Structure 1
Amino acid sequence: MSIGSSAPVVRRTERTTLTLLVGVFIIDYIDRVMIAVALPLIGAEFGLSKTTQGLVVSAFAIAYLVGQMPGGLLADRVGARPLLVISLAAWSVFTAATGFAPGLVVLLVLRAAFGFAQALFPGAAFKALAERTTQEGRSRGAGLLLASNSVGAGLGPLLVAPLVVAAGWRHTFWIVAVAGLIVGLALWRLLPAPLPRELTEPEARVAPVKVPVSQVLRNRLVIRCAAMFACFNMLAYGMITWVPSYLVETKGLSLVAAGISAAIPQLVSAAAVLLGGWLMSRYFDQRPRWLVVPALVAAAGVLVAMLLSDSATGFTVLQTVAMFISGLASIGIVGLPLRVLPRDLVGAGMGLVNTGGQLAGVLAPLVMGWLADRFGFAAAFGFLAVSTLAAAAISLTTRSTKLSLGAPAPAKEQVG
């Protein structure tokens, strides 16, 4: 089957797959960020310090990190569809259970279970993307998925803050859980079958030589992208976790107003990710660090100005600028492995990259909570400027190792 003769089927498959995955990623991030909106109320009810509140967020992140590689390997072994649905159903159940938590210990256990359930999703999602899009559409699709993360992170405070105020934080978790189960049913019923291999990997042989997983996990590009994603993602996790609390406690905003202020930078970031994906594919495909490094250095500079701002409006404006500039670099970090990995191993490769990214989810809430307790929020947000510069430094020194189908050894190729 040629691409020309099957163009309508390819377009329909790509469009349906991306629509479903974007929808699930949005509900994924709404589920994930709602804890940050509810954190001031949970902290007050359970009598938790900032450091302990950070631990509640990190309990999710630790389990999410641990589950990345198993999730990626399972996606390559059992296929994308069953793992996507199992993950979504399981995390929705644990979201609902969070609303019943009687205290800190149970809350930590439930957040960890929620994190492991969500960890099964990213590898399966990128696996589904690789099986259902052409090579030309894969980077564009990855950009849409990354942008949907920011959309979910932006919509989360807008939707959750009024619900928390009107119904309480416990009822809010139950409502969002029902929405997740409905989306899971739609995914199961509507996700199309994978495209034939010759459409997604035209250069592949009919029976390609198997590339061992160990070769993927040793690939320099995959390892470097995992390290860059770890430093880069500190910014996203730090902002999601602590901006609502900062605006409520330091700037005196209401919870709803803080939710709106926290949402704006995330929604702007979604547009930046899409723009960055377009810039990367058009101008920087073979030299990604030419875009990544300047964007991250500029974002770090804006973050310094942000933490010196005296007003809530100034803080939000500068946060929005920083998130927009950093968003331009997203595809240059996360999207590169999708270009070089065979589709049979996308789950494992992206599982490793996302493991690095989720290390930020473990460290950022805890480190920033400790810094806020000891030195104040300025020090906590200063940590994000440092980690963003670290991501730029790794990108500046990165050389890629292209993984070839059927190749006995990886061939080295310098990018940038």
Structure 2
Amino acid sequence: MKSIGVQRDNRKFILSLLFVGYMVSYMDRLVMNLAVVPIGQELHLSPTATGTVISVFFLAYTIMQIPAGWLTDRFGYRRVIIFSVFLWSLFTVSTGFAWSFTALIVIRFLFGIMEGGYPAASAKAIAEFFPKKERVKAQSILMSSNSFGGLITGLIVPVLLIWLGWRNVFFALGAAGVIIGVLFLKYIRSPIQSEEAKEQQSVNKNSMLSLLKTRQTWALLLTWFSISIASWGTVSWLPMYMVTVRHLDLVSTGMLGLLPTTAATLGTVAGGWLLVRFSGREKMYFVMNGLFYTAFLFLALFAPNVGMVFTYLALASIFYGFVFSAVYALPHKLFDKSVIGSAIGIMSLGSMLGGFIAPIMMGAFISALKGSYDGAFWFLIAAGLSSALFGLTLRNSNHVSHRGVDDSIKSNAGAK
């Protein structure tokens, strides 16, 4: 009994460490959405250039998702996590030294490559440390770190940007990342190489192909891709919109932004619990949440005053949190842990591809319409609606053979 208690305490500690790492990584990427206001003024960036600065991170992050999932399943989560944390922190610090638009693009691209390994590796760690019945809950808690990172960013970063300047903010965040990396180096240990683990490594070469052949993978990927366009587009351009069109100052924008971020946190935490209640009815879960999210997003983007903008965004964010949590938790239910790194890599691919497309497309719409945001907003609404439509393609878990992917992998391996 004592060993079980110690094991559970160790799981909690590992989950806490993964949580903090994810939170810092989210802050590192999110701070650009606020810092781009003073950066744009200093470097004289156009709306299209501003969108490009935000989008280039997502492009790099997207490119890294499939390789990161494979590398995690092949070589283990510890190596990928430590490598990722230290190098993304290096490029966070480097952002503070950016002297031109071109330098900023190169640094943010490399930063995105290095951050790209963390989602798959952290999910793999969850699969290794937690029994299957606890993984959905643990993954939901882990993903709520993003919302907590957003809360902290909105609360302190606007003030720090004014007080310290944007360069020093990136220096401070990079230093925090290095500290997290040291903790991972000290406390995260590779799993014991049992015969089962060795067998899993021998078949992981085929895991990505097998996952991509399943309907569930594509349904989740396209649903997440669509709602990510709407979400990242809103998050990326909201500070600029509130400052230039609604005439709020940066600090007020950051403080009011805590409302939807708090709502997303609650939605993400509740999402794992709610998904369990919808077991066997996952299609309804994704369609319903996608429709509610889109309806409130529409009301927010065309609200008559600032208060209503953030009120409706908060309501939309609850349903986004439900989807966010479920997209990363459901693979733990559908797939074996031997392929979970690849599965989460694919899900992150959808999110980051949406994050790449949205800011740069919105910048193009805004420039084409002479500073009007209406075209960009309709683009986001269409993406949100598409997420509900793609949710219709999902098969409920009571109609899914959970051994399908594993059998396909082993079959491929045996054929070699």
Is the structural similarity TM-score above 0.5? yes
Aligned match of 2:391 in 379, 388, 395?
395
Distance 1:406 1:32 in 2: 35
Aligned match of 1:367 in 340, 361, 372?
361
SS at 1:329's partner residue?
helix
Partner of 1:181: 178
**More deviation in 87-96 or 146-155?**
146-155
Contact 2:334 2:402 in 1 (8 A): yes
Distance 2:341 2:44 in 1: 41
Q: Compute the displacement of 1:184 (Å).
A: 1.3
Q: Compute the displacement of 1:169 (Å).
A: 0.6
Aligned match of 1:190 in 161, 184, 187?
187
Residue 350 of structure 2 aligns to which amino acid in structure 1? Answer: G
Partner of 1:264: 259
Contact 2:34 2:158 in 1 (8 A): yes
Contact 1:14 1:132 in 2 (8 A): yes
Contact 1:10 1:133 in 2 (8 A): no
Aligned match of 1:228 in 204, 223, 233?
223
Aligned match of 1:167 in 164, 169, 172?
164
Partner of 1:215: 210
Residue 407 of structure 1 aligns to which amino acid in structure 2? Answer: D
Distance 2:243 2:329 in 1: 36
Aligned match of 1:325 in 312, 319, 322?
319
Q: Runs of 5+ in structure 2 lacking a partner? A: 411-416
SS at 2:116's partner residue?
helix
Contact 1:154 1:265 in 2 (8 A): no
**Cα distance, 1:408–1:299 mapped onto 2, change above 3 Å:** closer
Determine whether 1:340 maps to 2:337. Answer: no
Residue 300 of structure 2 aligns to which amino acid in structure 1? Answer: M
**Cα distance, 1:100–1:280 mapped onto 2, change above 3 Å:** same
Partner of 1:93: 90
C-alpha distance after superposition, 1:119-160 (max 9, x if no partner): 011111111111011111100011112211121122212221
Distance 1:363 1:409 in 2: 32
Residue 12 of structure 2 aligns to which amino acid in structure 1? Answer: R
Contact 2:62 2:349 in 1 (8 A): yes
More helix by share: 2
C-alpha distance after superposition, 1:52-85 (max 9, x if no partner): 1010011111110001111111111221112111
Partner of 1:413: none
Determine whether 1:356 maps to 2:356. Answer: no
Residue 211 of structure 2 aligns to which amino acid in structure 1? Answer: V
Give RMSD over aligned pairs: 2.3
**Cα distance, 1:293–1:196 mapped onto 2, change above 3 Å:** farther
Aligned match of 1:311 in 291, 300, 305?
305
SS at 2:407's partner residue?
coil
Partner of 1:385: 381
Q: Compute the displacement of 1:403 (Å).
A: 4.4
Map 1:292-303 to 2 at 5 A.
Answer: 292-303=286-297
Contact 2:137 2:329 in 1 (8 A): no
Distance 2:99 2:408 in 1: 56
**Cα distance, 1:82–1:320 mapped onto 2, change above 3 Å:** same
Q: Compute the displacement of 1:205 (Å).
A: 11
Contact 1:223 1:353 in 2 (8 A): no
**Cα distance, 1:406–1:113 mapped onto 2, change above 3 Å:** closer
Q: Compute the displacement of 1:236 (Å).
A: 2.6
Partner of 1:285: 279
Q: Compute the displacement of 1:408 (Å).
A: 4.8
Distance 1:97 1:147 in 2: 28
**Cα distance, 1:197–1:234 mapped onto 2, change above 3 Å:** farther
Contact 1:13 1:133 in 2 (8 A): no
Distance 1:344 1:357 in 2: 22
C-alpha distance after superposition, 1:360-406 (max 9, x if no partner): 11101011112222332233223222111101101112226544175
Residue 264 of structure 1 aligns to which amino acid in structure 2? Answer: L
Q: Compute the displacement of 1:330 (Å).
A: 2.3
SS at 1:101's partner residue?
coil
Residue 222 of structure 2 aligns to which amino acid in structure 1? Answer: A
Contact 1:75 1:347 in 2 (8 A): yes
Q: Compute the displacement of 1:185 (Å).
A: 1.0
Contact 1:367 1:380 in 2 (8 A): yes
Partner of 2:50: 53
Q: Compute the displacement of 1:289 (Å).
A: 2.0
Count of residues in correspondence between the two structures: 402
Contact 1:291 1:332 in 2 (8 A): no
**Cα distance, 1:324–1:408 mapped onto 2, change above 3 Å:** closer
Residue 390 of structure 2 aligns to which amino acid in structure 1? Answer: I
Contact 1:131 1:195 in 2 (8 A): no
Contact 1:96 1:177 in 2 (8 A): yes
Aligned-pair identity in percent equals 28
Determine whether 1:151 maps to 2:148. Answer: yes
Q: Compute the displacement of 1:6 (Å).
A: 4.9
